[in-house]
Structures are given as structure tokens and as C-alpha cells.
Structure 1
């Protein structure tokens, strides 16, 4: 069993490796609360996380990246056997050091691992996924390099930066996929209803019913996919339509305002100025 602690900036890097011809159990704890990410290499060791009266087991760890918060009460137990050896890198930082991390790393932890930066228990498990090949290659390189001294530290520093970059990049992609609206057809239908009824649009409740949504889901998913709230989108389309009518001399300013649903000419003119930077009467 080998266990190396390496300090890079405000990160603690724990590199663990173990092989055995028998079944052996190795455990470790951290001296104070930390936020960390564990990256498991090809060994496929068994992992049990124990805290208070609880425990969480991982029986297939090969290629696993596991983010977590842990205080001094949490025990990480690895069971090493002939066919399941340990190859693990833990990149951790003290919770108290979060704001001091360089290169916006503290912001990434706070933005993408909020549940870990603001823990509500001794052990909080964050996002967990299997690494892409580029990440696996970096982890394997840690256990096959032959450098020493300053060269070894330089190697570790560059590879840890690359590993974290991949981790946060993959995490951002996965979170974006989760947050993407799943009802594109219904949202497109809502948009079409608005465009067809610029002069007399439905209420938010009526629009929700027309596409089978509740109002909360409609507001959230419409903004996520079109970039603006429902009625801001409606207002923009009204003003664009009015601009076209006036510029192509198909309607006067007053007529254009009425055709896109404005009862007040002053309200229309003020909204037009905010949208285009000049009054409708100035269109040539």
C-alpha cells in the first residue's frame, strides 16, 4: 500500500495504490471538513463510505469520478483483493480554503457543486459519473510515470489541472442536458399561438392550457429555450411586426400600433424607442 499526499496551491492531492494476494481492508479519514473529487483507475477496488450509522457501497469503481463533502466523522474504506486493486487519486480542498483557490476554481466548485460547498450532513455525495477516455488516460499516467523531484511535481500540477478541467467540463455538459427543456414541440406551439395572436394574445393561463402545461413550467421552459420570458417575447414580436408594417408603408404609426395590440399610442411609442432606439415616426 502506498499513499502520497501532495500539496498544490490550496489543493491536497491524495494518491493511493495497493495490490494484494489476499483480501485486505484499508481505511482513511480527513482531519477536517473537505470538498473533494475521487478519480478511480483501472483497479476496480470496492469502496464503502461510512458515516455515523450509515454507509454507501460502490462495487464497480473502475473509471469512476465521485465528488463529495466529508468531515472528520467520515471513513472511506477500500477492500483490496487479488482481482480488485486500488488506484485512486483524490483532489480535495479544505472548505475554509474555497474562496482562495486560483484560476476561478473556487467559483466552479460553488457554481457546479453547490450541495457540497453548503453541506447539510457529515457526508454529502455530489455528482458521480464514469470518466471519458481522456480523463482515464490522465489517471493512468499518475501510476505509470517515472519522474522524481521537481519534475514529478510539475507533472502532477499540469495533470491535476487537466483532470479538473475535464471533470468540470463534463459536469457542466451533464447539468446542461438535465436542464434542457424536454417539450420542444409544445413550446414551439406556444410560440406559434403568440405569433398568430399578436393583437389579442391569450393569457398565460390560457396559453398553458392550450399546450398542456402548468404556468410555472411554461414560464421556466419557454425562457430556457427562447432566452426571454413569454410576454417579453410577445412584446418583441409585436414591435418587430409593427416596424415592418410602418417601414413598408402598409400602415400608419397609429394603425400599426392597433394591429399589434396596443390601445395606447404613447405606450406603443415608448416601447418602440426602448426596442429600436428611435420613435416609430422617425422611420423613413
Structure 2
């Protein structure tokens, strides 16, 4: 993990994390660590920011005692919330490997970004854009593969100094985009309807599928969202990608599982749930059948 010269330490998990102000109204905090014993950290919210926390491993919890609010963000999830101005407490469980990225964006800046009509129709997103007056609005969103990739790009930024800041700013805005897109998808909305030709609709279906890998829509729902019949969607996937819709999804999940396991940041259970497998046993069965090696053995082979 790269640390940029001149970046100051932050209150979020104290010296365990790093912070950079990317631009006015946009801050980034990230960290990777484990604690031997329970430790809680206090923080002060500004009351004028939307916080997006992405947890790659471990569990992070936040609480605002003044309003009796608590939320735990498990591995593979993002939390989006707009806390009022008050003191809070955050922490993690001991002996867990914690790996996270947190993007803090001023509500005014976020409102400028989310000015399109698609966002105006979403009550969840509009609630995040309004100033909190004591109530706490929080959404837990399963991280899709695009979010996980952006988080890892931030953690392993290949550049330093000013170029690194520009790179991480782009990745932070990408995370905001993917997260808001996921919230829209929960409401049955999408950003940018596809062009009305079949190849574009098939590509759009693929995008929806990959952005919702943890909890994909059914075949009927996917076909309806892109304006195709189930048979046309299935035939289009076979022509364009050489597999049925869910065969294609399974292949992508297995490729991502290989990548995550080789990095060694997550264990087999975390990888299974992060990619939408029903259980670690489900991942083990399919992975072993495909690669003739168990996920655990594959992961250990990169630690020798």
C-alpha cells in the first residue's frame, strides 16, 4: 500500500489509517490493520457530509450514542450515511484483519454530481442529499465487483504525490458512482438506458449482471429491464459471450475468486459471500470442479 508524502494522520482509527484531502469537499481515508484487543475511537461528524465506507475484510461498527444509532458494516458491504453534527464512536472486533476505504463528500458537492433526473426520482438518494436534522439515514449496499476493484486500486495506488492524488480522486468518484448506481438498481431504476439495438441491450444486460453480482436479478427481471424477451436475452448471451446468462455469471465469479484468493486479502468464506455464492461449500464445489484444486489450497499456494 502506498502512502503519499505529506499526508497527515487522521482520527478515523487513529494511526492505523491514512487520510488525504483530494479536493475541496472530498476526503479519502483508508486502512489495513488488525487489533489484538477491542479499541474504540471517537469522531466528530461535520453534519454536512455524506459518508461512504467500503469494507473489504473484517467488520467495522459506528455508533452515535446521542441518537441511539448503531450500524455494523461487514466484509463485502458498503455503508452510505449522512450523520448529523455530533460525536460518535467507531471500532472493530479484535483479531480480525480490517481493510477499508472511506470516502467523505460534502453534501453540496454530491448534489452537483447527482443532478440528473434518474437521481431526482430516487427517494433514497434524495434523502442522502438533504441535511440531517437529528435522524440518521443509513443504507447498507452489497459491494459489487466494480466497487471492490476500485477499493483495491485505492489501496494499491501505483502513483505517488500529486499524480497519486488525482488517481485516487478518480477512483473515489468511481466508487460514488457505482454505489449510487446500486441504490438506483434496488429501486428498479438504471442510469443511462441502452440504445434500442439488440447488441447494446445485451451489453447493458451484462453490465447490470456484473454490477449486481452478489444479488443478481432473475432472468425474467433482467430481460424486462433491458427490453428483451427471455429467449432473445439468452440467445444474445450465447452469441456474444458463448454461454447462457448464468453460465457467464458463474464463469466471471470463478475468475474473480481466483484473483481474490491469489491476493490473500480475504479468506475463502469472505470470497464466497463477496461474489454471491450461496455458501463457502458452494464455492468450493464449483471451484474444485473447474480447477481441480480447492479454493483453500489455491490460496495457500500463493503464500509459499
- Give the TM bin, normalised by the shorter chain: 0.5 to 0.7
CA distance in 2 between partners of 1:12 and 1:45 (Å): 22
Residue matched to 1:136: 148
Question: What is the SS of the residue equivalent to 1:52?
Answer: helix
* 1:9-52: CA deviation from partner (whole Å, max 9, x where unpaired): 5322233443223332223222343122221122x123032241
Higher gyration radius (CA): 1
Structure 2: unaligned runs, 5 residues or longer: 1-15, 190-224, 226-304
CA deviation after TM superposition for structure 1 residue 132, in Å: 0.7
Find the partner of 1:21 among 36, 54, 68. Answer: 36
Query: Would you say how many aligned residue pairs link Structure 1 and Structure 2?
Result: 173
Residue matched to 1:202: none
CA distance in 2 between partners of 1:138 and 1:158 (Å): 9
Residue matched to 1:89: 101
CA deviation after TM superposition for structure 1 residue 111, in Å: 5.1
Q: Would you say 1:169 and 2:184 are equivalent positions?
A: no
CA distance in 1 between partners of 2:38 and 2:50 (Å): 29
Check whether the contact 1:46–1:84 (CA below 8 A) recurs between aligned residues. Answer: no
TM-score if structure 1 supplies the norm length?
Answer: 0.52
* 1:53-80: CA deviation from partner (whole Å, max 9, x where unpaired): 403131x511211111112214141124
Matches within 5 A, 1:103-182: 104-107=113-116, 112=122, 113-119=125-131, 121-176=133-188
Which runs of structure 1 show a deviation greater than 3 angstroms over 4 or more consecutive aligned residues? 95-99, 104-112
CA deviation after TM superposition for structure 1 residue 142, in Å: 1.9
CA RMSD of aligned residues (A): 2.9
CA 1:21 to 1:94, structure 2 compared with 1: closer, same or farther past 3 Å?
same
CA deviation after TM superposition for structure 1 residue 161, in Å: 2.4
CA 1:30 to 1:140, structure 2 compared with 1: closer, same or farther past 3 Å?
same
Say which is worse superposed, 168-177 or 15-24, in terms of deviation. Answer: 15-24
CA distance in 2 between partners of 1:106 and 1:7 (Å): 21
Check whether the contact 1:73–1:122 (CA below 8 A) recurs between aligned residues. Answer: no
Q: Would you say 1:36 and 2:51 are equivalent positions?
A: yes
* 1:197-245: CA deviation from partner (whole Å, max 9, x where unpaired): xxxxxxxxxxxxxxxxxxxxxxxxxxxx9xxxxxxxxxxxxxxxxxxxx
* 1:153-189: CA deviation from partner (whole Å, max 9, x where unpaired): 1220221222222112222111117xxxxxxxxxxxx
Check whether the contact 2:69–2:136 (CA below 8 A) recurs between aligned residues. Answer: no
